[in-house]
Amino acid sequence: MHFTDSTAIEREYTQCDSATESLVNGDGEFLREVLEGLSRPHRAIPCRFLYDAAGSAIFDSICQLPEYYPTRTERQILEINADAIAASISGDLRFIELGAGSGGKAEILLDAMDKARAYVCIDISPVPLASAAAAVRARYPGLAVSAVCGNYLGQLDLPPRRALRDVCFFPGSTIGNFERDDARGFLREWRNRLGPDGMMLIGVDLKKNAAVLEAAYDDAQGITAAFSLNLLHRANRELGANFNTDAFRHCARYVSNPGHVEISLVSQTEQVVAIAGRTFQFAKGEAIHVENSHKYAINEFAALAGKAGFESVDVWTDDDALFSVHLLCVAH
């Protein structure tokens, strides 16, 4: 890589306001969301609360499972096509990574991007954020590195662009965690944030055989089950709840229309759970919805991005058509 002197424009951002700290530490925000979610007719707890320290460690183990193809497949796509991806992006650029610590995927691309002048990593958790920024800073000493601690779904105070083209990298098929309307809204928000010459590079999991999908989210070793059940363990640890985690079963099933893996925790018996002075009765077979992981056909995702104000530049996939990486540009 070749960089200009970046000392004058390098900035370190820390904007962990009280709402962000609440989300990181799992205090008031977590309690409110759990109480609200369990009070609904169809009970649910938002999937973002899966990722406390214990949950993040379990997810790292999930990424190594033979059944869980997304992480290694996306990485292979980037390794094989990094030069082609870089060639599709012209001009001096600022590389923005949403969600720090993507297992070195950003570095695969930065190695190929000789016109990258700045790097911004964004994450709500300060520890992986600092680690990701330090790793990039050490690897590319001439690159202006900024770390923004905040929620990339909300307001962000990004460093000045300084005439660089913004290229936003959103790996891991995290876009699949959004309901389809929310995904379109998220893309529209970033389209407005990136500016008229902005681009997005997004990992998107593809529709495929239901057995392959369900095995990826309910592996033989039970690691994905432990990941979901940690949500209840977290409520016990942090909120003083009394979930009997042995009385809930992790369930992952593929729903073909519109196309998502639905993940829930199903009560195996009639039981009563107490949290913060309130009680919740569960019938046998009653579920707590944890997450939908949406899958797309290639043209389906391109159409969704189009409705959000992007045009498709190119798409790269693996030989088995398990996963895709989409390069989008702001439509004019």
Q: How confident is the model over 281-313, as pLDDT tens digits?
A: 999 999 999 999 999 999 999 999 999 999 999
Distance in angstroms (rounded) separating the CA atoms of residues 94 and 4:
13
Q: Determine whether domain 68-208+298-330 maps to CATH 3.40.50.150.
A: yes
Q: Are 307 and 183 in contact (CB under 8 A)?
A: no
- Reply yes or no on whether the pLDDT at 64 is more than 60: yes
Write out the H or E segment, with its range, that includes residue 182. Answer: helix 180-194
- The pTM (predicted TM-score) of the whole model is 0.88
- Reply yes or no on whether the pLDDT at 10 is more than 80: no
Pick from 92, 218, 231: nearest CA to 162: 92
List, by residue range, all CATH 3.40.50.150 domains of the chain.
68-208+298-330
Distance in angstroms (rounded) separating the CA atoms of residues 322 and 304:
19
Strands (E) across the chain are located at 93-98, 116-123, 144-149, 165-170, 199-205, 248-255, 260-267, 271-275, 278-282, 287-294, 310-317, 323-330
List 93's β-bridge partners, or say none: 116, 165
User: Which pLDDT band holds residue 213 (cuts at 50, 70, 90)?
Assistant: very high
pLDDT value at position 295?
98
User: Which pLDDT band holds residue 1 (cuts at 50, 70, 90)?
Assistant: very low
What is the token pair recorded at 13? 């951002």
pLDDT value at position 5?
31
Tell me what percent of the residues of the chain surpass a pLDDT of 90: 80
DSSP secondary-structure letter at 140? -
Pick from 145, 133, 207: nearest CA to 10: 145
pLDDT value at position 151?
82
pLDDT value at position 103?
65
What is the token pair recorded at 245? 């985690």
- Alpha-carbon torsion, ordered 233, 129, 119, 87, to 10 deg: -30
Average pLDDT score over residue span 155-178: 92
Distance in angstroms (rounded) separating the CA atoms of residues 332 and 257:
32
Average pLDDT score over residue span 62-91: 97
Tell me what percent of the residues of the chain surpass a pLDDT of 70: 91
- Reply yes or no on whether the pLDDT at 79 is more than 60: yes
- Reply yes or no on whether the pLDDT at 26 is more than 50: no
Residue with tokens 């790292």: 60
pLDDT value at position 153?
79
More confident residue, 148 or 100: 148
pLDDT value at position 301?
98
User: Which pLDDT band holds residue 207 (cuts at 50, 70, 90)?
Assistant: very high
Summarised one tens digit per residue, pLDDT across range 236-245 is 999 999 999 9
pLDDT value at position 102?
58
What is the token pair recorded at 244? 């009997």
- Three-point CA angle 119, 121, 123, nearest 5°: 175
pLDDT value at position 47?
92
- Reply yes or no on whether the pLDDT at 21 is more than 60: no
